[in-house]
Amino acid sequence: MEFDLENPLMISDEEQDCFSDSIAALFAVESDHMSPLAGGHLDLSARRDAVSLILQAQFGCNLDPFVAYLAVNYVDRFLSKREIPSEKPWIVRLLSISCLSLASKMTKTDFNVTDFQREEGFIFDSQTIRRMELIILGALDWRMRSITPFAFLRFFLSFFSPAQAPLLHALKARTSQTLFKAQTEIKMLEFKPSVIAAAALLSAAHELLPIQFASFRSAISSCESVNKERLWDCCDAIGDAAMDGCDSTFEMVSNSNTPMTVLGRHCSSSESDRTVGSSSNERDLKKRRISELRGALRLSQA
């Protein structure tokens, strides 16, 4: 059975009927799947290059974004435990390829590692990749069914019940977009997956369902499993991620032939020249929405 980010514990339909028990299990183990910053010594340069390469694979090979998301999760968890030797920078590429390979195997996704490497101009043989996969598996204690924010979406979306299905679908889709983009932000590693899920949903709800936002915010605040202070901090971080860089980090990657600094704060000149006016207006709109969201969140803390 293929791995599903929204159901990482592979809970059956019958078991999911006991919703409270399955959610309690997720909250109980999520800390074991976090990507701690290793005392602040995480190699940010290695992380940046690895994420850039994974995002290029996503767009260049039309890879499912959930596979790329899982691969980045593996990279983060690995780098939080192991250091990349400075004299061997090529290991970052091997790490990225191997994490992509593992993620595609977990999700039973067809991803041709050789074809992608050929396009990028470097080749690791299958034996080398398998050895690196074993090193990654050992570093992650063989916990490959990662608990990510996607695992908590169903739980937090239930606070909107009985909202209409199309609204919930739109809210979930917008939240997923937020999660995909926010994953490139190193600050996200400071928060539990459940907190990130709640913050992303709050951001999406404020944008798409402003009338229901207050009641949703109240429901989230009353959830005993969510630390409210960490939630507000995460909402700020996600707001910053929305403002970071150009309109879309993924557009930057898809327009590049080489690894990009996707965690940086610079647009390509061709893209910025093409959309100076529209980008400025959209940034102003984003700033206003984020300011309004932060104001709404502060009301709940008063």
Mean per-residue pLDDT, 162-190: 88
Rounded-to-integer distance, Cα 209 and Cα 231, Å: 19
Distances, alpha carbon 112 to alpha carbons 100, 101, 123, 150, in Å: 10, 9, 12, 26
**3 state DSSP class of 44:** helix
206-220 burial string, b = 16+ CB within 10 Å, else e?
Answer: bbebeebbeebbeeb
Q: Domains (ranges, CATH) in the chain?
A: 35-139 (1.10.472.10), 149-301 (1.10.472)
Residue type, 158: S
Q: What is the average pLDDT score of the chain?
A: 78
- Burial (Cβ within 10 Å: 0-12, 13-18, ≥19) of residue 191: buried
- Burial (Cβ within 10 Å: 0-12, 13-18, ≥19) of residue 286: middle
**pLDDT tens-place string over residues 11-62:** 665 555 555 677 888 888 888 878 766 455 678 899 999 999 999 888 888 8
Per-residue pLDDT at 261 exceeds 50: no
Per-residue pLDDT at 264 exceeds 80: no
**pLDDT tens-place string over residues 177-221:** 999 999 888 889 989 999 999 999 999 998 888 888 888 888 888
